[in-house]
Each structure stands twice: as structure tokens, then as C-alpha cells.
């Protein structure tokens, strides 16, 4: 049987297997309070990112929902890119905010700081950059903007576990930074997410997040508790956390492997536009721009290479359906293709991907 080269593939071994077995046999599978492996994962991730606090949740979407809920964004504007997974925008709607979509930079496909500056109004409360594909956004520019206008920065770091910006891990910069540990991500769990905190009110925010991730329960003493505010069922379970602990231990190693593949793609893939090479990027995604996307994807599929599209612009989705034009986003998203990039690729796989991409891709 011919091997199928998968677009995403978690990097796992017996360590994850043993960790799951341990949880299974402990009969302690989850807790609303977040104990055992969940606390351990939070502590390890805090140390890894050098952030002030970390609160684990059960998805990246939940992380964004709760992080935005820390700041009162009701009827306020939140600036974000349209080239992202829909959760980035949905999280604003969940909190009663107004998404303001701006364009991305052609080189990195990360949100364009100049476009952000032009979009700021008296009603802007938050800038929500996405580290697209794992490429760090221009956080220095956003910090300047945030100080000048007293605006918060909440980062969508769903692709950026282990990404660095100016020699510091993503997770240690913005007021709140939201990670996803969906199975396709470079730190994979069955489902998971996390919010790291760096701004002011850290202890207060941590308590609020811990309460909101468990249906608003606070003030718990023994079996007694109270609920002062609404919350959700967003806590991380013990299996996910146990897998996450093992994944975190190998994250730098697996990102190094991703970078070495990205370096080869950068050098050997001959398309005119592709994600730039930098040692800072996690390379959760490796994107290229092709003019014959349908044909290219079909031919790759026929040759057992899975490819993907990340993403269709959110502002054009039926739910949002905004009449604005975001030139770079719209033009790029029609031609974007993601190629497989993960530590399970063999040298032979990588050579095959490069060869067939060069054969089938049209500029
Ligand atoms: C950019 C971005 N934001 C948010 C999310 C949401 O994460 P999750 O799928 O863990 O809810 C994802 C994941 O798919 C994503 O890619």
C-alpha cells in the first residue's frame, strides 16, 4: 500500500501512551478546579514561556472567549485579521464586541501594523493579532500602539507554541495570550487551550479565569461553593494535560525539526511566494501561493500528499458578510495552500513533497 503523507500528524511515542494509562488507572480523569496534571501543565507552560500566569482550558476557542471576557468589550471594537480560523472572530461576538477586520502583510500574512493604526477609533478596546502559521507578529509595533491609545493586546497564539519574538517565547508579551492544543497543532492534545497572562491584575484575572472555566464556581470550601458570575464548562481534563506535559517536553525538539524542513522548502521549492524562513517561527503551517490551487491540490492528492487551505477570509463568511475589501487577504486566500510540515515526515517524504510541488505548482 502506498503511504499517504498527512498534512498534520501528532509527534507521539510511548511517553504519551504511558501518561494516558497512568491517568486511566488513577480513576481521576477530570476536575473543575483543575488539579494534578492540569496544574502541572500550567506550571510547566508558565516556565516554558516565562509568562506571569497560565490558566489551562479545553480549547483555543475557549481561551479566546475567556481572555476577551477579562476586558469589557461589549459594544467595543476589537481589531483582528480576517485571515484566521473563525474562532478568532467568534470570541469577540461571544463577548458582545465588534470585530474590525484589517488586512495582513503580503510577506508574512500576519496582521499589518499600519492597517491597525488606521483602524483605531475612540471605541477600540483590544488588538487581537494572530501569529499566522507560527510566524511572530510585529509585537513591538502593537505595544507602541497599545501604550499610545491605552488599548489591550490579546494574542491569538494558536499556531505559536514555541515561537519566539525578540528572543522571548510567545506567551510572555501580550496582556493575554491564547494557545490552542487541538490535535493538529504543534503541541497536540485531544483538545485543549491555555491563556497566559502578563499585564496588570494577574492574580485577580487568574481567579476570574479559573472560575469562568468551571461554570462560574468560586469561593469553594469543601463541598460548598458559590457562583457570582456566569461561567462555562471549559476546564481541561487530565488526559489532555498528561499528554500536554509530554508534548511540551519535546516541543523545542519538534519545532527544530519543523524549522529544518521549512529551511529545505524555502531553499528548494521554486514558487515565487511562500512563508519566509526565520528561526523564530514554529512552522505549524507551511504556506505557499499558487495560481492553480484546485488542480495543484488534486494532483498532490493523487500522489498521496495531503494539502490544506488556511484560511478562507472570515469577513466573507455568511455570518459576517461584510462589504469591506481586504486586498492582500482576499487575493492571497484564493491561492493559499498549506503543505505537510511535521516531525513525522521522512527524508523521502520531504523530497517527494518538494519535487511534486515544483512539478505541479504554477505561479
Ligand atoms: C488561529 C486559530 N485561532 C483559534 C483556534 C481555535 O482553537 P481550538 O480549535 O483549539 O478551539 C484555532 C484552531 O483551530 C486557530 O488556528
**For the chain, how are helix, strand and coil distributed in percent, rounded to 5?**
40, 20, 45
Compute the distance from residue 87 Cα to the ligand 1 centre, in Å: 6
Tallying the residues shown for the chain, one arrives at: 363
Asked if residues 145 and 59 have their Cβ atoms less than 8 Å apart, the reply is no
Mutation test of ligand 1: which of 78, 129, 178, 182 has the most ligand atoms closer than 8 Å to its C-beta?
182
**Is the shortest distance between the CB of 10 and ligand 1 below 6 Å?**
no
Q: If you average pLDDT over every residue of the chain, what do you get?
A: 97
Compute the distance from residue 355 Cα to the ligand 1 centre, in Å: 31
**Is the shortest distance between the CB of 338 and ligand 1 below 6 Å?**
no
**Is the shortest distance between the CB of 69 and ligand 1 below 6 Å?**
no
Show Cβ contacts of residue 205 under 8 Å, excluding neighbours closer than 6 positions. 53, 70, 176, 197
Show Cβ contacts of residue 165 under 8 Å, excluding neighbours closer than 6 positions. 136, 137, 139, 173, 280
- What is the pLDDT at residue 259? 98
**Is the shortest distance between the CB of 186 and ligand 1 below 6 Å?**
no
**Mean pLDDT of all residues in 13-41:** 97
- What is the C-alpha separation between 356 and 132, in angstroms, rounded? 25
pLDDT tens for each residue of 295-327: 999 999 999 999 999 999 999 999 998 899 999
Show Cβ contacts of residue 238 under 8 Å, excluding neighbours closer than 6 positions. 23, 26, 28, 29, 30, 31, 36, 37, 38
**Is the shortest distance between the CB of 142 and ligand 1 below 6 Å?**
no
**Is the shortest distance between the CB of 240 and ligand 1 below 6 Å?**
no
**Residue 349: pLDDT above 90?**
yes
* Cα 162 to Cα 3, 12, 63, distances in angstroms: 29, 17, 17
Q: Is 359 exposed, middle or buried (0-12, 13-18, 19+ CB in 10 A)?
A: exposed
- What is the pLDDT at residue 1? 78
**Is the shortest distance between the CB of 60 and ligand 1 below 6 Å?**
yes
User: b/e string for 172-193 if b means 16 or more Cβ within 10 A?
Assistant: bbbbbbbbbbbebbbbbbebbb
Q: Is 195 exposed, middle or buried (0-12, 13-18, 19+ CB in 10 A)?
A: buried
Grid cell, residue 260, equals: 529544518
Mutation test of ligand 1: which of 57, 59, 61, 104 has the most ligand atoms closer than 8 Å to its C-beta?
61
Which of 244, 211, 293, 332 minimizes the C-alpha distance to 36? Answer: 244
- What is the C-alpha separation between 310 and 85, in angstroms, rounded? 8
Compute the distance from residue 85 Cα to the ligand 1 centre, in Å: 6
DSSP codes joined into one string, 301-322: HHTTB--B-----GGGSTTT--
Asked if residues 102 and 111 have their Cβ atoms less than 8 Å apart, the reply is yes
Q: Is 210 a catalytic residue?
A: no
155 falls in which pLDDT band (50, 70, 90)?
Answer: very high
**Is the shortest distance between the CB of 310 and ligand 1 below 6 Å?**
no
pLDDT tens for each residue of 55-85: 999 999 999 999 999 999 999 999 999 999 9
- What is the C-alpha separation between 257 and 259, in angstroms, rounded? 5
pLDDT tens for each residue of 167-185: 999 999 999 999 999 999 9
Q: Which of 46, 185, 257, 274 is catalytic?
A: 185
Asked if residues 117 and 140 have their Cβ atoms less than 8 Å apart, the reply is no
248: left (phi over 0), alpha (psi -120 to 50) or beta: alpha
Compute the distance from residue 130 Cα to the ligand 1 centre, in Å: 10
- What is the pLDDT at residue 2? 83
- What is the pLDDT at residue 219? 82
Atom of ligand 1 nearest to the CA of 184: 14
Grid cell, residue 297, equals: 491540490
221 falls in which pLDDT band (50, 70, 90)?
Answer: confident
pLDDT tens for each residue of 250-298: 999 999 999 999 999 999 999 999 999 999 999 999 999 999 999 999 9
- What is the C-alpha separation between 249 and 239, in angstroms, rounded? 16
- What is the pLDDT at residue 148? 96
CB atoms within 10 A of CB 53: 16
**Mean pLDDT of all residues in 4-21:** 98
Asked if residues 282 and 162 have their Cβ atoms less than 8 Å apart, the reply is yes
Amino acid at each position: 500500500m502506498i503511504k499517504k503523507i498527512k498534512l498534520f500528524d501528532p509527534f507521539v511515542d510511548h511517553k504519551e501512551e504511558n501518561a494516558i494509562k497512568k491517568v486511566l488507572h488513577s480513576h481521576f480523569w477530570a476536575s473543575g478546579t483543575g488539579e494534578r496534571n492540569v496544574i502541572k501543565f500550567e506550571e510547566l507552560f508558565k516556565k516554558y514561556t516565562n509568562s506571569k500566569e497560565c490558566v489551562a482550558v479545553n480549547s483555543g476557542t475557549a481561551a479566546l472567549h475567556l481572555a476577551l471576557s477579562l476586558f469589557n468589550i461589549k459594544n467595543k471594537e476589537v481589531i483582528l485579521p480576517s485571515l484566521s480560523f473563525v474562532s478568532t472572530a467568534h470570541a469577540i461576538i461571544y463577548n458582545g464586541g465588534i470585530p474590525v477586520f484589517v488586512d495582513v502583510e503580503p510577506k508574512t500574512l500576519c496582521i499589518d501594523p499600519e492597517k491597525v493604526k488606521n483602524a483605531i477609533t475612540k471605541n477600540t478596546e483590544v488588538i487581537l493579532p494572530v501569529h499566522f502559521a507560527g510566524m511572530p507578529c510585529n509585537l513591538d509595533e502593537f505595544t507602541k500602539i497599545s501604550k499610545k491609545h491605552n488599548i489591550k493586546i490579546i494574542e491569538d497564539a494558536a499556531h505559536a507554541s514555541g515561537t519566539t519574538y525578540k528572543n522571548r517565547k510567545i506567551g510572555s508579551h501580550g496582556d493575554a495570550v491564547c494557545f490552542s492544543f487541538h490535535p493538529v497543532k504543534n503541541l497536540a492534545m485531544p483538545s485543549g487551550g491555555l491563556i497566559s497572562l502578563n499585564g496588570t491584575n494577574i492574580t485577580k484575572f487568574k481567579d476570574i479565569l479559573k472560575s469562568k472555566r468551571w461554570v462560574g464556581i468560586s469561593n469553594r470550601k469543601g463541598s460548598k461553593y458559590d457562583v457570582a458570575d456566569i461561567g462555562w464548562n471549559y476546564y481541561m481534563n487530565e488526559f489532555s494535560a498528561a499528554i500536554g506535559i509530554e508534548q511540551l517536553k519535546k516541543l523545542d525538539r519538534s519545532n527544530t525539526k519543523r524549522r529544518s524542513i521549512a529551511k529545505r522548502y524555502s531553499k528548494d521549492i521554486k514558487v515565487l511566494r511562500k512563508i519566509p524562513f526565520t528561526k523564530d517561527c514554529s512552522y505549524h503551517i507551511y504556506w505557499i501561493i499558487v495560481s492553480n490551487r484546485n488542480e495543484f491540490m488534486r494532483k498532490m492528492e493523487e500522489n498521496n500528499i495531503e494539502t490544506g487551505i488556511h484560511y478562507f477570509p472570515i469577513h466573507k463568511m455568511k455570518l459576517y458578510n461584510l462589504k469591506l475589501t481586504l486586498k492582500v487577504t482576499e487575493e492571497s486566500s484564493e491561492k493559499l495552500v498549506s503543505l505537510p510540515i511535521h516531525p513525522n515526515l521522512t527524508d523521502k517524504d520531504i523530497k517527494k513533497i518538494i519535487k511534486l510541488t515544483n512539478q505541479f505548482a504554477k505561479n
